[in-house]
Amino acid sequence: QALEELLERWKSRALPRPVQRKKTYGTQEVRRAIELGELLNYYQPKVELATGALRGVEALVRWLHPEDGLVFPEQFIGVAEEHGLIDALTRVVLSQALSQAQRWRAEGLTPRIAVNVSMENLRRLDFADFVASEVERHGLMPSDLILEVTESRLMQDAPNALDVLTRLRLKRFSLSIDDFGTGHSSLVQLRNIPFDELKIDQGFVHGAGQDNTRGAIFEASLNIARQLGMTSVAEGVEDAADWAYLLAAGCDLAQGYFIARPMPGHALPAWQADWQGR
Ligand code: C2E
Ligand code: CA
Ligand code: CA
Ligand code: CA
């Protein structure tokens, strides 16, 4: 497949990504943060390019550190994954997101909720049952939830992952492949996993209209989403030029600072009113 070949070629000359040099935390500190309830989800809207309508929100966890202030996930997710804390962390994030979804419903907002899932979460064969019982406990439907899994981690040899993803899909949860373009999945592998949504990595979105390399990867990714019948989402939409480019390209949904920064749950109704008025 020519398309696939093109994508592979561009991928191998990976674009430079910003380097963040920030403090990372130790296992005990992260464990305490989870136990003491210091984790708080922020939420970032996903909107439809054609209409601007709010379609979903992605839960992005933050740590409200008593001394250091707002700590970003890059500084503690890796530690949680490596030291057996990610199941507890995902549980907190999921249950917070579902409670927030109930509150939004009371205010007339019904965005689909996206939660990031680590490969380590997919080792447990009972993960799908756990998610199903949480969603039911909050009076929501499986179709209200999307689980995002990062492409680069997905193709690593992960015991049970494919099995657990299939179980989730059979329970009618939606699956999203995150940071697409940064991993090395082939069309054949993608066909074997029942994804509903493909999120094109922000490295190929912002400035795609002005940069041929980005534009080529972006369009190859969009074509893969189309070929496999998945909803396409562009991440990292930072300005009006990005938006215009994506709209013309026929991408389905957009997420990024141009639309909204991640925000605490209570801020969503005011953002939505403001966004609709634009
Ligand atoms: P991600 O899932 O790819 O999430 C998108 C990241 O891009 C978020 O960073 C978001 O704030 C940022 N972003 C959104 N719009 C823009 C934009 O227009 N420009 C730029 N430059 N960046 C934008 P954040 O919140 O720091 O999260 C980083 C990563 O941490 C996430 O990447 C995800 O992989 C991971 N993460 C976040 N929350 C969780 C969680 O609850 N569980 C797990 N396992 N991972 C999480
Ligand atoms: Ca994500
Ligand atoms: Ca992403
Ligand atoms: Ca990412």
70-97 confidence digits (pLDDT tens): 999 999 999 999 999 999 999 999 999 9
Phi first, then psi, for residue 58 (nearest 5°) are -105, 130
Q: What's the pLDDT tens digit per position in 93-130?
A: 999 999 999 999 999 999 999 999 999 999 999 999 99
Please give the average per-residue pLDDT across 23-50, as a whole number.
Answer: 96
What is the model's pTM? 0.93
Q: pLDDT at position 16, please?
A: 43
Mutating to test ligand 1, I would choose from 38, 40, 60, 77 the residue with most ligand atoms within 8 A of its C-beta, which is 60
Q: 248: burial class by Cβ within 10 Å (0-12, 13-18, 19+)?
A: exposed
Compute the mean pLDDT over every residue in the chain, rounded to the nearest whole number: 91
Q: What's the pLDDT score for residue 18?
A: 42
The 10 Å CB-count burial string (b at 16+, else e) for 59-87 is bbbbbebeeeeebebebbbebbbeeebbe
Name which residue sits closest to atom 23 of ligand 1, judged by CA.
236
Cα dihedral across residues 28, 32, 35, 37: positive or negative: negative
| Ligand 1 residue neighbourhood (C-beta within 6 Å) | 44, 59-61, 72-74, 77, 93, 116, 118, 178-179, 202, 235-238, 256-257, 262
What φ, ψ does residue 240 adopt, rounded to 5°?
-60, -30
Give the separation between CA 200 and CA 180, rounded to whole angstroms: 5
